[in-house]
Structure 1
């Protein structure tokens, strides 16, 4: 390859790889149920109540050893969870949107003549933002519940905005009366600064008064106190503890010590059937997003240790997103500097350095998971510790593969990613949870299973490993090679899609046709239009079968698959599909999304039309081995289907490109050795040696 051609190839490939790296920067177990759950449930909601408040308050600290404890994520449908968003979410049992985008949190609506002021405005807002939240579900439940405070009025309002058994101030005698089967108390938002200490004492006093009425008291943060408040999981306590103080959990999170806001509604309803329509015929029912709160894990009896654990956990959930940006930018800058050095000098040392930075980017897609095993959030300066750990593991993989595997470095990284993610999926994704590749509870993303970034990594790793394995067998038997593709790709599909493991509905939709296409091309060498249609139909049937089987399970045990299938049967998927489409299109609100799209299109065209790529080294590589074409076409198929049918949109194939492209360029850089022999002939010889 001519020097100018190689330079253009490196720049363009680095561009699409960078798009993937930037996309990364932008982009269970059943719980035990308390036997006392049949008793009165009193929910005390405190917007903005943090574990720092518990640490600073002797009264709240004293409650820790008397409670099942945990953290609660208060993500609602909108970008901020103001108090009205939190209370409306409890009303609907699904994430609702109450505040006005771009404005500070407003005061909670007044109650006039037994009706919430401007209630219809909140109902219309759900339709405007396609939340599908049935406001008034809890108030329509049809059994005695009492409310105290303005937030409780919002939570207990019926579908028409009217509210019964509600009082503007807390009344202990009314709470203890028979007319209050369950109760919701709005303790008021925590003041941002002045008066916070007094507010903490009032919360502790309110808990004591509620306990005197007997029952099951649930103290939870229900929202952030301000629209721009620091985002973190808030406090959740349930007292008195059943069978000793343990960690709160729910089947919606499948994580000890973590519940979500919609679990509060499910706990109050706890299996009771709410009417599907109100007397006027307005629809109120649909699947609950949450599940009843329970407890799990070992007993805890040390309040100080529990509080420290909760504060450490907050660090675990807050630091990954900003550190993802920092690590991505560090690797990108290093790649650009190394490329410039190699561009101008073409020295062996510059070549090795540039190759090292490319492999570091590949290693980054492993380090984001392995970093979780280091428990970095308990180290000094957790954010900086995470930054160093991820960079260190990324560089370590680059060094080891570059030194020991040389031209097979790409395979070493892909194989490591494949094996690690398979094991992580089977174990319930402990490495992904809280890593850079999951939104976590602060953002309200996945609490279990594989997210989009994790799936993109697994898909690339699985297809590359499958392609290499098939290449080793194809000369002996095309049938055996195709079976190897099905075995390796099938294992990834099973782990990615199985409920309780990867639980990734969108992922298997994209990966299944890619694996089937790759297996067919391995077996037959080419594919007809009829066979292509058959591959697509087979993929759809496989995904539908998984969703149907999950749907047959009890409603409170279903994963995303069964829940979506139930919505489909009920004709209740339009809002879900519109929201996912909006999420996919949101990437094009700025230049970064369009840049990712350009990079992805260029990468896909290079796999479909290799003869049009103006780089002899790539064209020689493409035709040097039988399995290169099927592997690259499978990668493009997976990325294209994922982009069209996944809420991640263009980010999914961009992340795949960000993982695959640097491995490809590193392989080509290693193969093109400076000598008197032409680069093209040397590359062909090196490519053939892989087999």
Structure 2
């Protein structure tokens, strides 16, 4: 839905005397219209509306789990032990709840104690079923589901009726809080769903007719009814809730609420204080900006529901196909890397570093044939396309592909079209011929796409295939896991490419400046709203800055990077803790949990989230990328060490990317999702750049073959090797041990006819026979 990333300002609603929550599990916005549900339609016209994410302690959220989560104000389950989720396409099991009525006024749920014990001891959320009922003096429950939500932790329901009586005025006037089970909309057939929605609307009409004055009525589709997870209806009708969007600090986006927000909303609406460290949600409020006509307003949450439902299916196969494509490319790149630096066998003499020598000992040894240039060109273009796949999928969400009968086909077509356009733009840019040209352009495109989305409200990431889903309840605004990975990789690679073009002493400042801008965008509560991601990026920028001038990560450099990271982390922590509890990010909530003694559960939830995300295709992307880097690119024939030796700023950027990916995944509880997004962008570009430096390796180190009748002079006395050559001779082919890190080749002994001993300021010159051709270390090629 097209709401802004941060909720609009709102005037606090006046308190009311009564709150009534009518639950209709399964009710979606597509079920609501003026003909079939006239009562709910009238409520929506008067009140405020939103899409409801019904995340409980497990997925899918079945009806009893939804009612239990409502009563707990936290993610919970109605189960005294492990429960089997429904199979795909199968309805939630019909669980019988034993409701005893010993006095005919209230009720007693004998299973409630076991449910509370299971949620407290076996689940990481620390939910207390019945916490909402314990926060008020008296509750009314109508129907079995409402009894589950209104039961106190020991099982007592203050006032209970199995059905809403013909005249419910006295019943609803008894207690300040009432919960009413208004039926379930669970049918898959459209006609049957309409009939169930009409029955629920009729019960709602009787409820509204008996509502007390000065009351707030909340209608909510509390749960799913099968494995097809969807967004559901929530409407609030009462004084101060007129004609707006519902939102809360837990979502930070207009038009979205979580199921766990309903309990604190009920207490806040009656002027009661919230219990400490019990509720996971935040009170809802009404904000302006809704279209005047309800027809236009309802299309937005209905459209968001369709998009979120389609995103769940398409994201799985998109990242699965991307992982498969990158695996195939990795297999295709390995033989190219091995053949890229094959010497040309010849029995004729050549000019070596110490004069003319003959090469005949290996002439008879068979060598693999060189890879044709067209094949190399095709592989390079495919590597560019693979790296641009996630940014293209992100931009594709600007097209409403989910509104068609075949959303997957349209999304695939739009993504391929954008991917072809982006790849062509990179390929036909003059900078493509440079060694770092494709890497710099792809990184810039990725960083700009994510930054532009965040600056405009993160509309592309919300419910987008390459973004995050409102169904999971993890994030509704700002940077998501995939977006963070792409942004980290793009920002640091751009910083490395820019730093490589300046003098060595200026490189740390360039990396720090570009990376600092990325940290501010990621960590700002009004933009990226991801303090954990900002801390991870800060660590990556610190590592990249201190080794951007070349050399290794010494203890002193690590110390400076650590100090910078701690300062930035402390700054974000102070900023987050200074905000109200309802507006804190994950960092502030975690530090608050440490302060009140509940930090163990926060760590347990993060660990459970990390483990649960390991079955994602992004994990496959991370593993494929790591295998290609470790077993191919970092081999002596892989070219990555040579790339790092020639371009120390790129080596620094990639070290920072790896650091940020690990920290972002660990602290964010996202497993290898961030690393997978990082690998999808970085590994193909590292492979392409390695191919480029290997392709130019012979041009820089092997002069042309001398003519057959050339006189071979006596070799000159060898002098001390320069630092870079000494490192290579000692087994470090990257030359990273050189002071500057730029590739510097040793001077060849001059031929008799040579009268010049020119050297270039950067990278020196490469002497071919009697002529020195300037080599540009930025382009990675000889300027002819």
TM-score with structure 2 length normalisation? 0.75
Query: Would the alpha carbon gap of residues 211 and 36 (structure 1) be closer, same or farther in structure 2, given more than 3 Å must change?
Result: farther
Greater shift in the superposed pair: 169-178 or 507-516: 169-178
Query: Would the alpha carbon gap of residues 601 and 542 (structure 1) be closer, same or farther in structure 2, given more than 3 Å must change?
Result: farther
Residues 224-250 of structure 1 show CA distances to partners (whole Å, capped at 9, x for unaligned) of: 123x3x211011222358585333322
Q: How far apart in 1 are the matches of 2:223 and 2:216?
A: 21
Of 298, 321, 324, which aligns to 2:315?
324
* 2:267 equivalent to 1:269: yes
Query: Would the alpha carbon gap of residues 669 and 469 (structure 1) be closer, same or farther in structure 2, given more than 3 Å must change?
Result: same
Q: Give, in angstroms, the shift of residue 259 of structure 1.
A: 1.5
1:420 corresponds to: 449
Q: How far apart in 1 are the matches of 2:427 and 2:285?
A: 49
1:251 corresponds to: 249
Q: Summarize the alignment of residues 321-360 of structure 1 with structure 2, pairs less than 5 Å apart.
A: 321-331=312-322, 346-360=371-385
Query: Would the alpha carbon gap of residues 101 and 488 (structure 1) be closer, same or farther in structure 2, given more than 3 Å must change?
Result: farther
Q: Summarize the alignment of residues 620-635 of structure 1 with structure 2, pairs less than 5 Å apart.
A: 620-635=642-657
Q: Summarize the alignment of residues 52-451 of structure 1 with structure 2, pairs less than 5 Å apart.
A: 52-55=30-33, 57-59=36-38, 62-63=41-42, 64-99=44-79, 100-103=82-85, 104-107=92-95, 109-112=97-100, 113=102, 114-126=107-119, 127-171=121-165, 172-174=167-169, 178-192=173-187, 196-212=193-209, 213=211, 214=213, 215-226=215-226, 228=227, 230-239=228-237, 245-270=243-268, 272-273=271-272, 285-303=277-295, 305-331=296-322, 346-378=371-403, 381-404=406-429, 405-406=431-432, 407=434, 408-451=437-480
Q: How far apart in 2 are the matches of 1:469 and 1:287?
A: 48
Q: How far apart in 1 are the matches of 2:381 and 2:205?
A: 61
Q: How far apart in 2 are the matches of 1:93 and 1:415?
A: 43
Q: Aligned-residue CA RMSD in angstroms?
A: 3.4
Greater shift in the superposed pair: 205-214 or 30-39: 30-39
For structure 1, which runs of at least 5 residues remain unmatched after alignment? 1-27, 277-283
**Number of residue pairs matched by the alignment:** 647
Check the 8 A contact 1:438/1:445 in 2, yes or no: no
Q: Give, in angstroms, the shift of residue 410 of structure 1.
A: 1.6
Q: How far apart in 2 are the matches of 1:632 and 1:516?
A: 12
Q: How far apart in 1 are the matches of 2:702 and 2:286?
A: 64
Residues 258-296 of structure 1 show CA distances to partners (whole Å, capped at 9, x for unaligned) of: 2111121121011755585xxxxxxx7435323224243
Of 641, 659, 667, which aligns to 1:645?
667
Q: Give, in angstroms, the shift of residue 443 of structure 1.
A: 2.4
Q: Which secondary structure state, in structure 2, belongs to the residue aligned with residue 442 of structure 1? A: coil
Q: Give, in angstroms, the shift of residue 179 of structure 1.
A: 2.1
Q: How far apart in 1 are the matches of 2:400 and 2:637?
A: 45
Query: Would the alpha carbon gap of residues 216 and 252 (structure 1) be closer, same or farther in structure 2, given more than 3 Å must change?
Result: same
Q: How far apart in 2 are the matches of 1:161 and 1:574?
A: 28
Check the 8 A contact 1:603/1:657 in 2, yes or no: no
Q: How far apart in 2 are the matches of 1:197 and 1:435?
A: 29
1:17 corresponds to: none
1:555 corresponds to: 581
Q: Summarize the alignment of residues 461-610 of structure 1 with structure 2, pairs less than 5 Å apart.
A: 461-475=490-504, 478=505, 480-522=506-548, 525-586=551-612, 596-597=622-623, 599-600=625-626, 603=629, 610=634
Residues 295-322 of structure 1 show CA distances to partners (whole Å, capped at 9, x for unaligned) of: 431333243x444443322222122333
Query: Would the alpha carbon gap of residues 508 and 101 (structure 1) be closer, same or farther in structure 2, given more than 3 Å must change?
Result: farther
Residues 560-613 of structure 1 show CA distances to partners (whole Å, capped at 9, x for unaligned) of: 332222212111121121121122234557999588447437637989xx5xx2
Check the 8 A contact 1:617/1:680 in 2, yes or no: no
Of 679, 684, 689, which aligns to 1:657?
679
Residues 71-127 of structure 1 show CA distances to partners (whole Å, capped at 9, x for unaligned) of: 211111212201121111111212113354324534252222432221122223222
Greater shift in the superposed pair: 170-179 or 491-500: 170-179
Q: How far apart in 1 are the matches of 2:701 and 2:171?
A: 85
Greater shift in the superposed pair: 31-40 or 86-95: 31-40
Check the 8 A contact 2:26/2:184 in 1, yes or no: yes
Residues 340-374 of structure 1 show CA distances to partners (whole Å, capped at 9, x for unaligned) of: 69979933333232222211121122123222333
Residues 503-532 of structure 1 show CA distances to partners (whole Å, capped at 9, x for unaligned) of: 223312322121112112236844432542
Q: Give, in angstroms, the shift of residue 138 of structure 1.
A: 0.4
Query: Would the alpha carbon gap of residues 588 and 200 (structure 1) be closer, same or farther in structure 2, given more than 3 Å must change?
Result: closer
Q: Give, in angstroms, the shift of residue 149 of structure 1.
A: 1.4
Check the 8 A contact 2:71/2:149 in 1, yes or no: yes
Query: Would the alpha carbon gap of residues 587 and 324 (structure 1) be closer, same or farther in structure 2, given more than 3 Å must change?
Result: closer
Greater shift in the superposed pair: 122-131 or 522-531: 522-531
TM-score with structure 1 length normalisation? 0.84
Of 641, 648, 663, which aligns to 1:619?
641
Q: How far apart in 2 are the matches of 1:311 and 1:149?
A: 28
Q: Give, in angstroms, the shift of residue 139 of structure 1.
A: 0.8
Q: How far apart in 2 are the matches of 1:296 and 1:471?
A: 49
Q: How far apart in 1 are the matches of 2:616 and 2:574?
A: 38
Query: Would the alpha carbon gap of residues 545 and 601 (structure 1) be closer, same or farther in structure 2, given more than 3 Å must change?
Result: farther
Q: How far apart in 1 are the matches of 2:578 and 2:262?
A: 25
Query: Would the alpha carbon gap of residues 575 and 349 (structure 1) be closer, same or farther in structure 2, given more than 3 Å must change?
Result: same
Q: How far apart in 2 are the matches of 1:377 and 1:680?
A: 56
Greater shift in the superposed pair: 454-463 or 69-78: 69-78
Greater shift in the superposed pair: 531-540 or 137-146: 531-540
Q: Give, in angstroms, the shift of residue 253 of structure 1.
A: 1.8
Residues 513-555 of structure 1 show CA distances to partners (whole Å, capped at 9, x for unaligned) of: 2111211223684443254245335424422331232222222
Query: Would the alpha carbon gap of residues 208 and 590 (structure 1) be closer, same or farther in structure 2, given more than 3 Å must change?
Result: closer
Greater shift in the superposed pair: 75-84 or 331-340: 331-340
Query: Would the alpha carbon gap of residues 395 and 332 (structure 1) be closer, same or farther in structure 2, given more than 3 Å must change?
Result: farther
Q: Which secondary structure state, in structure 2, belongs to the residue aligned with residue 97 of structure 1? A: coil
Query: Would the alpha carbon gap of residues 50 and 128 (structure 1) be closer, same or farther in structure 2, given more than 3 Å must change?
Result: same
Q: How far apart in 2 are the matches of 1:179 and 1:669?
A: 77
Q: How far apart in 2 are the matches of 1:266 and 1:275?
A: 7
Greater shift in the superposed pair: 50-59 or 679-688: 679-688
Q: How far apart in 2 are the matches of 1:686 and 1:60?
A: 74
Check the 8 A contact 1:672/1:679 in 2, yes or no: no
Greater shift in the superposed pair: 345-354 or 425-434: 345-354
Q: How far apart in 2 are the matches of 1:275 and 1:571?
A: 18
Which one has the largest radius of gyration?
Answer: 2
Query: Would the alpha carbon gap of residues 38 and 273 (structure 1) be closer, same or farther in structure 2, given more than 3 Å must change?
Result: closer
Q: How far apart in 1 are the matches of 2:560 and 2:600?
A: 28
Q: How far apart in 1 are the matches of 2:382 and 2:550?
A: 38
Q: Which secondary structure state, in structure 2, belongs to the residue aligned with residue 436 of structure 1? A: coil
Check the 8 A contact 2:625/2:680 in 1, yes or no: no
Check the 8 A contact 1:148/1:185 in 2, yes or no: yes
Query: Would the alpha carbon gap of residues 129 and 686 (structure 1) be closer, same or farther in structure 2, given more than 3 Å must change?
Result: farther
Q: How far apart in 2 are the matches of 1:389 and 1:177?
A: 53
Residues 398-420 of structure 1 show CA distances to partners (whole Å, capped at 9, x for unaligned) of: 11101113131221121122223
Query: Would the alpha carbon gap of residues 180 and 299 (structure 1) be closer, same or farther in structure 2, given more than 3 Å must change?
Result: farther
Q: How far apart in 2 are the matches of 1:559 and 1:375?
A: 30
